Amino acid sequence: MANFSAPMTGEQTFELNGRPARYTVLYFYPKDNTPGCTTEAMNFRDRYDEFNALDTAIYGISRDSLRSHEGFKTKLGLPFDLISDPDETVCNRFDVMKMKNMYGKKVRGVERSTFVIDADGKLVKEWRGVKVNDHVQEVLDFLNGQP
């Protein structure tokens, strides 16, 4: 996978190349401070130590602004950073922008998706159309099965 960079919380820039972790989890979600996205972020937060023990870094990505991300991260006490993608560059790279039904109206939005990338930048697993319940456990189960 080709390198890319994007702004993230803590006045940092995410760079795909040069990440120190064995694995990187990139989870795409629709919007800060919405019920499903809050639950998903808390689930990753609550299992953070297990990901850390597997030498795996976690990053959440949405189209929200850095200001929104900083507030969301602080409010939930997230130990990982959030990547801001307002122009959908990263979302388009991972093909997560989809037409969705929202209250009977068609809207274009982020399809909840998760990707695992190894230290060489190779995509090793993806989940699309993620359902929040039990998803973090699925990701951990996959990582625990890696050699």
Q: Which residues are catalytic?
A: 37
Residues 6+ apart with CB under 8 A from 116: 23, 24, 25, 56, 123, 124, 125, 126, 139, 142, 143
- Backbone conformation region of residue 11, classed left if phi is above 0, alpha if psi is from -120 to 50, else beta: left
Q: What is the DSSP letter of 111?
A: P
Residues 6+ apart with CB under 8 A from 98: 108, 109, 110, 111
